[in-house]
């Protein structure tokens, strides 16, 4: 409940920032344009995020004959979670990692790397897949897609404003801003994209904690996921994956290097903190 409330507040902040940027750039007309852009881009994210994510990862569907144990684990966990069984994919990466995608539980997919299947034992595999099904049940993929689209749109608007100022083509529908309005616009161009990125990352971290807790409940124990996270962090540090940085947040652990900025600039919570919170759930 705490993480859901935090996510709701952060999404409201991101949406509000988007509208403020639109207003500062174009007044009431700018707000209208921002709303239309948000609607169109969110609709695109809703319908096409799964296809894009799977294509970017080079994932291919695997049948039950090809991966019977993987399908059996996914089917069992989906039954426990009370959701339809997602489509199952495998990517060719040797670095162990996994992600889930899809606009809702009825149109979901889970993908694991070839390296993950080789590294983890059954209990750890169940923990990882339960975490991913937690994302599906909590509709985190849709939330993250919308957050990414809004953050990208804010950066796009700021870039448009920057170029318009350079060529003298930017005007608002009211003239009472004066020098303060111009200064405010300059600050917005610089600050808004950074603020949007920070809010997006905060949403991502919040949803990871929530998926950890949900996954532990689905699996029946937090220990498999905790053990798997320790292994995944070590291997992703040794053998970083080659992925688009924009797609890094969808994986269960940071796939880029295992080393990232601390605190506000992380797409994932610290692994030690995730493991600590998981192990605290054993008594519950």
Determine the Cα–Cα distance for residues 81 and 131; give it in Å rounded to an integer: 11
**Mean pLDDT computed over every residue of the chain:** 82
* C-beta of residue 126 within 8 angstroms of C-beta of residue 98: no
pLDDT higher than 70, residue 168 = no
Residue 198 in any domain: the answer is yes
At 100-127, the pLDDT tens digits run 998 889 999 999 999 999 999 999 999 9
Would you tell me how many other CB atoms lie within 10 Å of the CB of residue 115?
20
Predicted local distance difference test score (pLDDT) of residue 184: 62
Determine the Cα–Cα distance for residues 185 and 272; give it in Å rounded to an integer: 41
* C-beta of residue 224 within 8 angstroms of C-beta of residue 246: no
Residue 22 in any domain: the answer is no
Q: Structurally, how many domains does the chain consist of?
A: 1
Does 268 show up as a binding residue in the annotation? no
Please tell me which residue, 262 or 205, carries the higher pLDDT value: 205
Domain hosting residue 82, numbered range:
46-141+177-283
Determine the Cα–Cα distance for residues 43 and 284; give it in Å rounded to an integer: 39
pLDDT higher than 70, residue 265 = no
- Set 126, 132, 223, 233: catalytic member: 132
Predicted local distance difference test score (pLDDT) of residue 92: 95
Residue 9 in any domain: the answer is no
Does 135 show up as a binding residue in the annotation? yes
pTM for the model stands at 0.78
Query: Tokens standing for 174?
Result: 């009211």
The sign of the dihedral angle between the CA atoms of 249, 255, 260, 262 is positive
Would you tell me how many other CB atoms lie within 10 Å of the CB of residue 170?
17
Residue 195 in any domain: the answer is yes
Does 223 show up as a binding residue in the annotation? no
Determine the Cα–Cα distance for residues 166 and 152; give it in Å rounded to an integer: 21
Residue 148 in any domain: the answer is no
Q: DSSP of 148-188, one letter per residue? A: HHHHHHHHHHHHHHHHHHHTT----S----HHHHHHHHHHH
pLDDT higher than 50, residue 258 = no
Query: Tokens standing for 113?
Result: 């790397």
- Which among 202, 207, 215 is positioned nearest to 77, based on CA atoms? 215
Domain CATH number, residue 250: 3.30.2010.10
Annotated active-site residue 132? The verdict is: yes
Q: What average pLDDT score do residues 229-235 get?
A: 95
At 169-227, the pLDDT tens digits run 555 544 445 555 566 667 667 777 788 878 878 888 888 999 999 999 999 999 999 99
């Amino acid at each position: 409940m705490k993480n859901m409330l935090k996510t709701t507040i952060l999404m409201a902040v991101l949406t509000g920032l988007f509208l403020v940027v639109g207003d500062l750039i174009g007044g009431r007309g700018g707000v209208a344009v921002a709303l239309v852009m948000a609607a169109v881009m969110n609709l695109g994210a809703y319908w096409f995020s799964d296809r894009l994510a799977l294509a970017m990862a080079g994932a291919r569907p695997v049948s039950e004959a090809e991966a019977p144990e993987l399908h059996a684990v996914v089917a069992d966990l989906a039954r426990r979670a009370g959701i339809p069984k997602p489509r199952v994919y495998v990517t060719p990466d040797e670095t162990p990692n996994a992600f889930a995608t899809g606009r809702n539980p009825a149109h979901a997919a889970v993908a694991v790397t070839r390296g993950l299947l080789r590294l983890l034992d059954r209990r750890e595999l169940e923990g990882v897949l339960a975490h991913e099904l937690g994302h599906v049940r909590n509709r985190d993929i849709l939330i993250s897609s919308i957050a990414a689209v809004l953050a990208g749109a804010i950066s796009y608007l700021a870039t448009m404003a920057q170029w318009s100022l350079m060529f003298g083509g930017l005007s608002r529908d009211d003239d009472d801003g004066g020098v303060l309005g111009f200064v405010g616009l300059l600050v917005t161009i610089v600050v808004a994209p950074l603020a949007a990125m920070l809010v997006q990352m905060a949403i991502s971290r919040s949803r990871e904690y929530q998926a950890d807790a949900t996954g532990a409940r689905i699996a029946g124990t937090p220990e498999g996921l905790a053990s798997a996270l320790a292994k995944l962090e070590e291997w992703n540090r040794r053998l970083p994956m080659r992925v688009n940085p924009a797609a890094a947040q969808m994986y269960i652990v940071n796939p880029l290097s295992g080393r990232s900025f601390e605190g506000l600039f992380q797409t994932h919570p610290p692994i030690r903190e995730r493991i600590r919170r998981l192990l605290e759930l054993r008594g519950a």
